[in-house]
């Protein structure tokens, strides 16, 4: 089974960043096939292959990005024709190979852009960013780690992305907040980036989801330890988070992305 006849699209972004929603919207296009009803968590391709370790081997949500071994590049010994062929065979069981575009989604793709490009040189990659407070608040139920650790993990992964970006040719950055505000416009840019005709997804996108996480940030007043944890996260990481256009002090207010990401957003790509 060859990948030469298809355009392969990889979607990445931390858990609870909106990658599943983006994957479903893309896969709703008649020219695109994604994974559905596979029996694995969130239909993620990382759980449907045996070539490289999934994120759970490095601690899973809120933890995997702390491990150097989880960051894969073109220098990995796993980059070879045999790996590519095995991935196409294993993933191909779950794709409709009659469609010209094949999409795979897994959170650790965020720190494996160079590796995936090395295996599939003509592939496209879409990375979804979401406010770190929302991601941390939504992920804590799985990681059982502190806000400090979760914000630090968000930064570790996204700073790795920034460092890898000069080596990646075809990558689009999609902010979750922009997507839920204008889903069809952002999707139109994504479809053009992929190389298919834009069309509305027809899927309902909930707005205001971040607001609920922002209002709960720090926890109730009767839990001083949790509130202190949130305060430490704000104090330690506000400056680094601000580089990505997000504010820890006033989370509802968004700023500009760093130049290296700004040029790869939906707006810059023609939405």
Model confidence band, residue 263 (pLDDT cutoffs 50, 70, 90): confident
Please give the Cα distance from 202 to 66 (Å, whole number). Answer: 37
Per residue in 110-135, pLDDT (tens digit) is 999 999 999 999 999 999 999 999 99
Average pLDDT over residues 82-108: 97
Rounded average pLDDT over 261-271: 74
The residues that bridge with 187 in the sheet, in sequence order, are none
pLDDT band of residue 271 (cuts 50, 70, 90) is very low
In the predicted model, is pLDDT for residue 1 greater than 60?
Answer: no
* Band of residue 205 on the pLDDT scale cut at 50, 70, 90: confident
**Which pLDDT does position 209 carry in this prediction?**
83
Interval 226-252 mean pLDDT: 94
Sheet holding 124-129, edge to edge: 32-33, 101-105, 7-12, 124-129, 171-175
Q: Tokens in use for 43?
A: 């239909």
Residue 104, H or E segment:
strand 101-105
Q: What is the pLDDT of residues 42-92, one digit of tens each?
A: 999 999 999 999 999 999 999 999 999 999 999 999 999 999 999 999 999
pLDDT at site 54: 97
- Per the CB < 8 A criterion, the answer to whether 148 and 229 are in contact is yes
pLDDT at 226: 85
List CB contacts of 205: < 8 A, sequence separation 6 or more: 21, 179, 180, 183
* Per-residue pLDDT at 270: 63
pLDDT for residue 99 is more than 60: yes
Q: In the predicted model, what is the mean pLDDT of residues 223-227? A: 85
What local confidence, expressed as pLDDT, does residue 94 receive?
97
C-alpha span between 156 and 65 (Å, rounded): 6
The length of the chain is: 271
Which of 39-43, 165-169, 202-206 shows the lowest mean pLDDT across its residues?
Answer: 202-206
Q: 220 versus 234: which is more confidently predicted? A: 234
CATH of 7-206+256-262, one of 3.40.605.10, 3.40.50.2300, 3.40.50.300, 3.40.190.10: 3.40.50.300
Most distant CA pair in the chain, distance:
59
> Taking 90 as the threshold, does the pLDDT of residue 262 lie above it?
no
Question: What pLDDT, on the 0 to 100 scale, is given for residue 217?
Answer: 85
Mean residue pLDDT of the chain comes to 93
Containing 159, the helix (H) or strand (E) segment is helix 147-164
Q: What was the pLDDT predicted at 3? A: 56
Spatial contact of 69 and 58, defined as CB atoms under 8 Å apart: yes
Percent of the chain at pLDDT above 70? 96
């Amino acid at each position: 089974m060859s990948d030469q006849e298809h355009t392969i699209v990889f979607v990445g972004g931390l858990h609870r960043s909106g990658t599943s929603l983006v994957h479903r919207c893309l896969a709703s296009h008649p020219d695109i096939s994604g994974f559905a009803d596979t029996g694995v968590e969130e239909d993620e391709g990382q759980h449907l292959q045996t070539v490289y370790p999934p994120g759970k081997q490095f601690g899973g949500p809120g933890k995997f990005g702390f491990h150097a071994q989880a960051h894969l590049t073109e220098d990995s010994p796993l980059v070879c024709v045999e790996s590519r062929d095995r991935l196409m065979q294993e993933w191909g069981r779950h794709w409709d190979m009659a469609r010209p575009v094949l999409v795979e989604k897994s959170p650790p793709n965020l720190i494996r852009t160079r590796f995936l490009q090395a295996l599939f040189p003509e592939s496209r990659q879409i990375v979804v960013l979401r406010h770190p407070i929302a991601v941390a608040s939504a992920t804590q139920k799985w990681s059982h780690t502190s806000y400090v650790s979760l914000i630090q993990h968000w930064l570790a992964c996204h700073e790795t992305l920034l460092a890898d970006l000069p080596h990646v040719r075809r990558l689009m950055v999609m902010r979750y907040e922009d997507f839920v505000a204008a889903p069809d416009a952002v999707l139109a840019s994504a479809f053009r980036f992929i190389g298919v005709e834009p069309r509305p997804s027809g899927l309902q996108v909930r707005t205001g989801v971040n607001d609920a996480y922002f209002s709960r940030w720090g926890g109730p007043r009767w839990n001083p330890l949790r509130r202190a944890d949130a305060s430490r996260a704000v104090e330690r990481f506000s400056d680094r988070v601000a580089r990505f256009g997000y504010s820890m002090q006033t989370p509802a207010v968004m700023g500009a992305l760093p130049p290296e990401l700004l040029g790869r957003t939906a707006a810059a790509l023609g939405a």
